[in-house]
């Protein structure tokens, strides 16, 4: 029998990276979430080769002070929670303190950041967790996270990468998910030097139209229902705009994009009477509730949630959507007959 050994820190991070960084798009998601958590209102994403060669995210958030740059790349180091109580009502997108460390362990990563407490910006570089010294850098505001050569030191993972186009498609989808949820943030997506999407700030409806298209916007109705501490709002398409694929289905819980069977089921059921069984509804819906009533710490990728009272959530979503689907659509409520 081999003896039990404690694994070296870099290997621990590489193992953890398997869960957090499934593909370039998962790294992009984490980096975008960090920019939002830092209060950014303007974020630019530049990708090379579907994110495989480079993922570079520049934001105008509050930045990282010099003495915390190393910590940002350290596992289980976070500025977002400090106790179990904090975790139970977490409002930030991140809280696990492992995304940057995991990404850094399997790439060449540079972070350049300006923090108001400093006279100028600082930069730290890492190659597979080996940090270089922190150096002065030129940057007026925010943070640039530059991730290059993802999986360069984990060839087994690299083999699972698909073509550049496929990986770019996943990155684009990660970008859309963020963009749909934050019309108050201007966003730019570039791929191989070409601008792919440029989104100005504006109303939620405008952002939905920018991302999901004019056809969706023309065929969808706005809803905003509240009951017993739960709120569901967003846009859902009339049954006439149903799809063959589930490609226009976005659900957020407290601003976080999630995949949730319970919510999907409630939505599906609300559409049941009006939709042919082989068609899929199209929607972008935001559920808001007391953070203490939902556990977001279910999986490292944080796209799964668990509700304290799942049945109440199911019932609420079903009724809210069912009611909106039954109401005359497209007319302002003041014009609807009694």
Q: Which of 46, 72, 81, 99 binds Mg ion (CB under 5 A)?
A: 99
Q: Which of 45, 98, 209, 223 binds ligand ADP (CB under 6 A)?
A: 98
Strand partners, 58: 44, 144
Closest CB to ligand ADP among residues 264, 301:
301
d(CA 306, CA 79): 24
Closest CB to Mg ion among residues 102, 248:
102
Question: What does the DSSP 8-state code read for residue 8?
Answer: P
State yes or no: residue 80 binds ligand ADP (CB under 6 A).
Answer: yes
Q: Which two tokens stand for residue 49?
A: 């080769």
State yes or no: residue 78 binds ligand ADP (CB under 6 A).
Answer: yes
Q: SS3 sequence, 84-96?
A: HHHHHCCCCCCCC
CA torsion, points 274, 276, 280, 283, in degrees to nearest 10?
A: -10
Residue 128 interacts with, from ligand ADP, Mg ion, none (CB under 5-8 Å by kind)? none
Residue 59 interacts with, from ligand ADP, Mg ion, none (CB under 5-8 Å by kind)? ligand ADP
State yes or no: residue 94 binds Mg ion (CB under 5 A).
Answer: yes
Shortest approach of ligand ADP to residue 40 CB, angstroms? 7
Q: Which of 55, 59, 178, 219 binds ligand ADP (CB under 6 A)?
A: 59
- Number of Cβ within 10 Å of residue 107's Cβ equals 27
Question: What does the DSSP 8-state code read for residue 243?
Answer: B
Q: Which of 94, 234, 281, 300 binds ligand ADP (CB under 6 A)?
A: 94
Query: Are 116 and 60 within 8 A, CB to CB?
Result: no
How many binding residues for ligand ADP (CB under 6 A)?
21
Report CA-CA distances (Å) from 180 to 83, 173, 186, 284. Answer: 31, 10, 11, 8
- Number of Cβ within 10 Å of residue 196's Cβ equals 15
Shortest approach of ligand ADP to residue 34 CB, angstroms? 3
Residue 271 interacts with, from ligand ADP, Mg ion, none (CB under 5-8 Å by kind)? none
Q: Which of 13, 35, 154, 181 binds ligand ADP (CB under 6 A)?
A: 35
d(CA 207, CA 194): 21
Closest CB to ligand ADP among residues 179, 220:
179
d(CA 271, CA 325): 8
What are the residues binding ligand ADP (CB under 6 A)? 30, 34-35, 38, 59, 61, 63-64, 72, 78-80, 94-101, 143
């Amino acid at each position: 029998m081999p003896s039990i050994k404690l694994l070296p820190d870099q290997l621990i991070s590489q193992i953890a990276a398997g869960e957090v960084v499934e593909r370039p798009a998962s790294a992009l998601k984490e980096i975008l979430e960090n920019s939002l958590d830092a209060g950014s209102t303007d974020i630019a994403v530049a990708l090379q080769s579907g994110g495989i060669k480079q993922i570079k995210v520049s934001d105008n958030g509050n930045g990282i002070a010099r003495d915390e740059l190393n910590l940002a790349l350290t596992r289980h180091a976070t500025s977002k929670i400090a106790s179990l109580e904090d975790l139970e009502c977490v409002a930030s997108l991140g809280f696990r303190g492992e995304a940057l460390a995991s990404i850094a362990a399997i790439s060449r990563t540079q972070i350049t950041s300006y923090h108001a407490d400093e006279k100028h910006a600082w930069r730290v570089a890492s190659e597979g967790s080996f940090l270089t010294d922190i150096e002065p850098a030129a940057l007026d505001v925010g943070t640039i996270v530059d991730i290059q050569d993802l999986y360069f030191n984990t060839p087994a993972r690299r083999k699972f990468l698909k073509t550049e186009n496929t990986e770019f498609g996943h990155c684009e989808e990660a970008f859309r998910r963020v963009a749909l949820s934050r019309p108050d943030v201007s966003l730019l997506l570039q791929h191989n030097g070409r601008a792919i999407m440029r989104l100005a700030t504006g109303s939620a409806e405008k952002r939905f139209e920018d991302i999901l298209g004019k056809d969706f916007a023309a065929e969808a109705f706005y809803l905003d229902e509240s009951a017993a501490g739960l709120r569901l709002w967003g846009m859902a398409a009339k049954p006439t705009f149903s799809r063959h694929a589930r490609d226009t289905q976005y659900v957020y819980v407290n601003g976080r994009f999630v995949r949730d069977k319970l919510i999907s089921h409630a939505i599906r059921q609300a559409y049941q009477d009006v939709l042919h069984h082989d068609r899929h509804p199209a929607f972008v819906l935001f559920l808001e509730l007391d953070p203490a009533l939902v556990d977001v710490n279910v999986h490292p990728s944080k796209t799964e949630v668990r509700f304290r009272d799942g049945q109440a959530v199911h019932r609420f979503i079903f009724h809210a959507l069912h009611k909106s689907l039954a109401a005359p659509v497209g007319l302002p409520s003041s014009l609807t007959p009694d």
